[in-house]
Structure 1
Amino acid sequence: MTASFSDQLLTLARPNLAWVCEQLDLFDSLVPAGVVSFDRDEPSVTRSGITLRAHVVGTNALDGTWMWAWANDSYRDSPIAARSGELRELGERTGVPELTEPMPDLNHFPDPRLAADHLLLMCMGLLDARGGAICAVNERGRLFMVVDDPAVPRAEPRPARLTTALRNGAALLPGPALKPVQGWFARHGVDPVYGPGRVEGVLDGGDRVVVTLGDEEVTGVEVTGPGGGAPGCGTAGEQELEGARRSPDAPHRTFPRPLLAVAAREMAFSILRTRAMVQYADDHLAFDGRAPLWDEQAGELRFPGGGLKARRLGSYDAEEGWF
């Protein structure tokens, strides 16, 4: 068993990867990371107080399996699973095994969690979605949603964003770099011109994008204006959400008001004492800027030059977002 998706799925999804990276970059800038919840009947997702139409495509369990929403008893009969059914129909028409198998096993990948993340990006592309969101459910399982709300604009070219998207789109999954580059130009309505190891095209407004290619990577992206100077899209205003529902706390508040009210009273003292601890570690424990190690048995934070007694309050998994 190889550590990859099927050739059928890669062939179908790869042309979308660059523009999906571009779209997701815009989405994440407009809908900041934060608390995520969903309404199965509306259907919608709410992230950082911003509510948008969205649909569940699948779930990823701790055992490394992926279950499509159309096969999941918890979602299959609710409106929120409707678009996952489109993926199954697409898989049946095109012969893609991952889209028609109820519970694909991702354990043959080096990182099953990363494979699930990549599967969400492919779903975004296949469904022409405008964003993606992940919600923690069922004791550390993860639920994957595509956002198809017209309140989220389609990403317009911006020099930094398109450069990153073209590079990442080509590197995301194995295969020729040309396919996601061609897909990106097609997304923006451009008929590109091909040369040895390069693809170039002119965007609306006259900006020129030149992409240089290796076999499986984008080696360079250049964006210039009509006369070879600064590109006009570099000075265009940033896009915005149009008509999305926002709670009074959107988009930046991520903790409940009662918790913030209590924490705020102690925050200044906590910062002061933490600075004092860091200064002590710098003066006496050879602190070199790296995070100390936690010695569970000794009950100490270990610095290069010694330890400080401490009590464990909990743990935080940055990848899963759990405390």
Structure 2
Amino acid sequence: MRSEHRQAVATRSATTKPAPPGKLPSEYVSALGSYDLSDHSWLWDWANPGSRGTPVVGAAEAVRRFGHDHGIREFTDEIVGLPAFDNPRMAAETLAFGAMGILGAPGYLGIQANPDGRLHLVPDDPRTPARHPTCGPSPAP
């Protein structure tokens, strides 16, 4: 995704607007990163000039710290090239899924932000219910 597109996506995601009735305001999500469909790269949002240093990148910063602590370059490199993967888009989803696990987030969102890219977000609100798998006997068929 061209840098101006990524910057525009980050600027939109960092803007908090009043929520309509029954909806949560956008301040309750954090941006993880964006996936460029044209060059198959992932840009962590903490490295995005449009959002660097803003509250919206708090979750991505936590993933970065985890990467530094555990020597995982995919979480510390600003841009992660994915074209060598059989399915680069799935590789980007895997980065978001891994970040979700590191953060203990109840899920993540991957949205088409523009024709060339996808933005990945995680809920960042303690009121978001977390579902945990339960173990027990399987129901009879």
Check if 1:75 corresponds to 2:51.
yes
Does the Cα contact within 8 Å between 1:66 and 1:104 map onto a contact in 2? Answer: yes
Q: Which amino acid aligns with 1:55?
A: S
1:89 to partner: Cα distance = 1.1
| Residues 111, 80 of structure 1: alpha-carbon distance in 2 compared, 3 angstrom cutoff | same
Check if 1:58 corresponds to 2:58.
no
* Counterpart-to-counterpart distance in 2, 1:100 and 1:157: 30
* Counterpart-to-counterpart distance in 2, 1:39 and 1:75: 9
Q: Which runs of 5+ in 1 are unaligned?
A: 1-37, 159-202, 209-222, 225-229, 232-323
Does the Cα contact within 8 Å between 1:42 and 1:80 map onto a contact in 2? Answer: no
Report 1:82-101 matches (<5 A): 82-101=58-77
Helix, strand or coil for the counterpart of 2:24?
Answer: strand
1:77 to partner: Cα distance = 2.5
Number of the residue aligned with 2:14 = 40
Compare CA radii of gyration and give the structure with the larger one.
1
Q: CA RMSD in A?
A: 2.5
Identity %: 31
Q: Which runs of 5+ in 2 are unaligned?
A: 1-11
Number of the residue aligned with 2:120 = 144
Give TM-score, length-normalised by structure 1.
0.35
* Cα distance per residue 1:109-168 (max 9 Å; x no partner): 00111111111111100011112112222433111011132332111446xxxxxxxxxx
* Counterpart-to-counterpart distance in 2, 1:39 and 1:135: 11
Q: Which amino acid aligns with 2:24?
A: T
Q: Which amino acid aligns with 1:152?
A: T
Q: Which amino acid aligns with 1:88?
A: R
Match 1:126 to one of 102, 114, 121? 102
Helix, strand or coil for the counterpart of 1:153?
Answer: coil
Number of the residue aligned with 2:80 = 104
**Which runs of structure 1 show a deviation greater than 4 angstroms over 4 or more consecutive aligned residues?**
none
* Counterpart-to-counterpart distance in 2, 1:65 and 1:39: 19
Does the Cα contact within 8 Å between 2:41 and 2:79 map onto a contact in 1? Answer: yes
